[in-house]
Amino acid sequence: MITPLDVRSLTLGQLAKAIDHSLLRPELTDEEVRAGIELAKRYNVAAVCVKPCHVRLAAELLAGTEVKVCTVIGFPHGSQTTAVKVYEAQEAVANGATELDMVINIGKLRSGDDEYVLHDIRAVVEAVRGRAIVKVILENAYLTNEQKVRGCRLAEAAGAAFVKTSTGFAPSGCTVEDIRLMRAAVGPHVQIKAAHGIRTLEQALAVLEAGATRIGATATAQILEAFKAQQGESRPAAN
């Protein structure tokens, strides 16, 4: 069972460990990716989420640290065949990833083909069982509330560790209402990852309070520095 974070007593370290620093924009250069990985290491976040081509680099730079290597599977549309997703997952783990953010087959979910969706997720989960966890991205911007709930429950049935709101590439992203809906849709052992549009400390705290335990963010430094500043202001002045 996952214990939700209490935002009222949150520490800087706990907030950092609730963040996956995202490095998924297609135009990022190798130099920019290296800088992003170093930032993730400096703040000791939960994970750095890189494109599959950068998994080996991330694993090398993060060796000996507590920051996990995460990558994406079936990104960003989820329309690859199951066999391709399984291959992507196996290659990612072989290259050093221990967390995989997999995009659900959005069209199949919207079509009501639950059997396909369940098999698609389960195949990836089973391919990396014991070596990596799977976070299933629903891409909520394209789904009704009923489809979001159904997607969450299929991901749970398939053995996913997390359900996630968004890729960051759809027209809209995470909402507090979606986090609450997803939290209510799955059991206490399944975690929620909020992503897309979380750029401020206030937004980060709001989704954590709603039930998320992980945040996908590019504004990691801004969020954590804002928290440090806030904590400094709340301390009594020295005599």
Q: For residue 184, how many other CB atoms are within 10 A of its CB? A: 10
Contact indicator for 162, 214 with CB cutoff of 8 Å: yes
Please tell me which residue in 17, 41, 164, 178 is annotated as part of the active site: 164
- Is 193 one of the catalytic residues? yes
Please tell me which residue in 20, 101, 120, 178 is annotated as part of the active site: 101
**DSSP per-residue codes, 171-195:** S----HHHHHHHHHHS-TTSEEEEE
- Is 164 one of the catalytic residues? yes
DSSP 98: -
Angle between helices 114-127 and 145-157 in degrees, nearest 10: 40
| Two structure tokens written together for 143 | 């789904």
Quote the CA–CA distance of 168 and 141 in Å, as a whole number. Answer: 10
Catalytic site residues? 101, 164, 193
